[in-house]
Amino acid sequence: MSRNQRIFYACQAVAITPRGAANVDPEHVVHGVQSIGMSSTFTLDQVFEQGQIEIYENIEEVSDIEVTLEKVIDGYKLIYDLATQGACKTDIVAASKARSDVYVAVFDDGLSHATGVPRNVVMNSGMYVSSVSYSYSIDGSATESVTLVGNDRFWNANTYGVIGTSAADAWSLNPTTNIDGTDTPLSGVVRRVNVDLEGSALPGIVKSQKGDDETGRGGGYHVQSISVSTDFGQENIQELGRFGPYHRYATFPIEVTCEFEVISTSGDLVSVSGNAPNLTNETIRINDTAGTVLDLGDKNKLSSVSYSGADTGGGNATVSYSFSNFNVLTVQGGDTHA
Amino acid sequence: MENSFLQKTLYRIIKGRLRVVLGDLVLYIYEADSSMIEESFEVYDDAYSKAYFDEVPLKSELIEVLIENDLWTPLDDKQAEKIEKDIENKKIEAFESFYDKKKLNSIKKIIRKMESDVLKLKAKKIQLDHTSCEGVAEFSRNMWLMSKMTKFKDGKPYNWQKYTISSVMEYYTSSTIQVPTYRAIARSEPWRSMWNNGNRHTGIFDKPSQDYTSQQNALCSFASMYDNVYESPDRPSEKVIEDDDCLDGWFLVQKRKIEKDKKKREAESLIKNPKIANSQEIFVMANNAEAAKNIYDMNDPLSRGTINRRNAQIDNSSGQVKFTELQDVQQDMAMQARQATLSKVKGGR
């Protein structure tokens, strides 16, 4: 059962370390974070007995915690990269197994910057990546959103598992020394102009709504937004004689979806035949100027097309092309962090 | 308040004059019109210049004198602010206790006492103002205005042979219309009919609003205020409207509700990611102290209390608090357990 109360904290820094790291160092600090959400779910199991109205025992099951972080893509290390210690660059299986500790530092409202000793540090220990999504749109900054799940959360301290020092001690080296009011995005925050579609590998159908003007990196494809997402569906594995799970596993196969919204110049251009297969494998790789490369491999297939707009209200006709693959997503980027 | 007194005051406001009967002499003190007020500032400027060259201190210079002689300290202002805040809370309490007359009366007594304390504290800072350039100039201006405003019954200016300007001014000051009187007039007949039937700001006093006297302006403002109350979908009962303290409490409740909704909307617009928006604890990045304060202000009193309790618990612990050991989390878990038990028992029937 989840809790209902909503609390806002002023947060000035978040860091993701490999599980069990003794200290939070500057390279663990996530830059460009916009907001963080934390939730917890408690499970209680009531046992009654015949002949007694009172509860026999109210048993607490292991609680699930969840942390969702969102950052702008800015040339600094991506959340997915930090949370998987770089495993996201090679394959999704390794990334699904990687564990990390997520520290969120809460500062007093009297301080100007994130430097100094935080008021409190929340530590989420042994977190697995549960879902990842990337979003590029024409009217905002490109964002990365990552949800991590686990079973242990501490406020201001931790002596859990392999970590020998408290969360506050781990933070004591002042890792946020660079966030002093002069911190700027390494590559600049990625906006629509920074999406390098000409350098990307896109399905042919996405590029089919082409116009005459090819100014910029957009290839004249009239793409309005791109979103890439996947959900690992991390499940607990329990064992007899142990309260907490001894492992979490991703529920393979994991579907990776990629959706392109394109302004239509000539319908959705998708032909469907009942006599032969209609789809072919497509390569999808999305690049931006911050060095981000979202590689979905070469076995993506169109899963749906929707055509909308062009109504009497004057709206443009848009086509949404959804592609999906299974178990292929590698993410490069943020390697320029000093 | 007596109805005859209210009507008398209303017609004083409408006519824009105060009738003064001094023995067999009847005088009228007319409210200053705009050209008179304009001219009065020349008197002010002249008096100010004269006082300045006579080395009369400026108002700002008197602050030091006040502090040196222990007549006032900045703490008095802070104390006054605090009491004003407390008065607001008491007025809300009054509104919420409207039907408990005994409690309401006791709250009203406390409010009156607090108001008097605030007045005393504020008076401390201005007690020497009359000795400053600004005070001398303002006094001269008021005297000049009074000399022009006071007329015989036939409209001719009074010659000040029998009574001095000071004595008439004293009478005028003692007849100042108090806020409760304005409010009582503004919400009752015959004013409400006049207000509703008139063409509001242009037709009520048969002249453009820039020519209204200060009293007429004040009455119109209060009338508009009561319009807003009557038109509100959450309009309180007539009895509450008639009670100034309770109505002030209602205003404050509405204001806080609006502020809370505004903060909620701000918070929601700030967090577009639905997963984060629906989380129990939301951490919003703050890049300066003011932003941090604004984020903390987005919490409702319950959440703010939870933060304070958590901080206290963490501070009092040996530096390690597991999430499930936090008091508010334990309370939630206990509540969930009770609800689960209830539903299980009920489900078993």
Residue A283 binned pLDDT confidence (cut-offs 50, 70, 90): very high
Closest CA–CA distance from residue B303 to any residue of chain A (Å): 5
CA dihedral B18, B19, B22, B23 (to 10 degrees): -170
Closest CA–CA distance from residue A65 to any residue of chain B (Å): 10
Q: Give this complex's ipTM.
A: 0.84
pLDDT, average across residues A258-276: 84
Amino acid identity for residue B270 in this structure? L
Q: How many domains is chain A partitioned into structurally?
A: 1
- pLDDT tens digits, A2-61: 556 688 888 878 899 998 887 888 888 899 999 899 998 888 888 888 888 888 888 888
Share of chain A above pLDDT 70, in %: 86
Q: Do B324 and A63 touch (CB under 8 A)?
A: yes
Distance CA A127, CA A37 (A): 14
Cβ-nearest to A44 among B286, B299, B337? B337
Residue A29 contacts B where some CB pair is shorter than 8 Å: no
Cβ–Cβ pairs < 8 A, chains A and B: 184
Q: Is A338 part of any domain?
A: no
Residue A219 binned pLDDT confidence (cut-offs 50, 70, 90): confident
Q: Which chain A residues are Cβ-neighbours of B333 within 8 angstroms?
A: 42, 44, 60
Q: Which chain B residues are Cβ-neighbours of A158 within 8 angstroms?
A: 320
Cβ-nearest to A168 among B292, B295, B319? B319
Contact predicate B107/B93, CB 8 Å? yes
Count CB-CB contacts under 10 A for residue A103.
27
pLDDT at A161: 37
Q: Which chain A residues are Cβ-neighbours of B324 within 8 angstroms?
A: 42, 63
My answer on whether omega of the bond before B301 falls inside 30° of 0, hence cis, is no
Backbone phi, psi, residue B266, to 5°: -60, -45
pLDDT at A293: 95
- pLDDT tens digits, B76-119: 889 999 999 999 999 999 999 888 889 999 999 999 999 999 99
Q: Do B289 and A111 touch (CB under 8 A)?
A: yes
β-pairing verdict for A152-155 and A7-18: unpaired
Q: Is A203 part of any domain?
A: yes
SS3 category, A324: strand
Residue A338 binned pLDDT confidence (cut-offs 50, 70, 90): very low
Per-residue pLDDT of chain B (349 residues; tens, 9 = 90+): 678 889 889 998 988 888 888 888 888 998 888 888 888 999 999 999 998 998 888 888 888 888 888 888 889 889 999 999 999 999 999 999 888 889 999 999 999 999 999 999 988 888 888 888 999 999 999 999 988 888 888 888 888 888 888 888 888 888 889 999 999 999 888 888 888 877 655 567 777 778 888 888 999 999 999 999 989 888 998 899 988 899 999 999 999 888 878 877 877 777 888 888 888 899 988 777 777 888 888 887 888 888 888 888 888 887 678 888 888 888 888 888 888 777 777 765 5
Residue A20, phi-psi category: left (phi > 0), alpha (psi -120 to 50), beta (remainder): left
Residue A253 contacts B where some CB pair is shorter than 8 Å: no
pLDDT at A159: 43
pLDDT at A177: 64
Q: Is A3 part of any domain?
A: no
CA proximity to B142, closest of B230, B40, B42, B233: B40
Q: Is A310 part of any domain?
A: yes
- pLDDT tens digits, A292-317: 999 999 999 999 999 888 888 888 88
Q: Residue A290 pLDDT more than 70?
A: yes
Classify each residue of A285-323 as buried b or exposed e, where b means 16 or more C-beta atoms within 10 Å of its C-beta. bbbbbbbbbbbbbeebebeeeeeeeeeeeeeebbbbbbb
Q: Do A8 and B267 touch (CB under 8 A)?
A: yes
Find, in chain B, the residue whose alpha carbon is nearest to that of A120. Answer: B311
pLDDT at B197: 79
pLDDT at A203: 94
All structural domains of chain B with their residue ranges: 32-71+127-176
pLDDT at A107: 73
CA proximity to A127, closest of A156, A168, A89, A158: A158
Distance CA A140, CA A138 (A): 6
10 Å CB burial of residue B287 (0-12, 13-18, 19+) is: middle
Mean pLDDT rounded to a whole number for chain A: 85
Residue A286 binned pLDDT confidence (cut-offs 50, 70, 90): very high
Q: Residue A1 pLDDT more than 70?
A: no
- pLDDT tens digits, A132-144: 999 999 998 999 9
Q: Residue A172 pLDDT more than 70?
A: no
Distance CA A323, CA A326 (A): 11
Q: Residue A69 pLDDT more than 70?
A: yes
Cβ-nearest to B285 among A11, A37, A168? A11
For residue A70, the Cα-to-chain-centroid distance in whole angstroms is 7
Q: Is A2 part of any domain?
A: no
Mutation site for A-interface testing, chosen from B263, B272, B276, B330 by largest number of A Cβ within 10 Å: B276
Residue A64 contacts B where some CB pair is shorter than 8 Å: no
Cβ-nearest to A36 among B276, B298, B323? B276
Residue A205, phi-psi category: left (phi > 0), alpha (psi -120 to 50), beta (remainder): alpha
pLDDT at B153: 82
pLDDT at A274: 83
Domain that holds residue A171: 11-332
pLDDT at A74: 92
- pLDDT tens digits, B2-46: 788 898 899 989 888 888 888 888 889 988 888 888 889 999 999
Q: Residue A221 pLDDT more than 50?
A: yes
Q: Residue A71 pLDDT more than 70?
A: yes
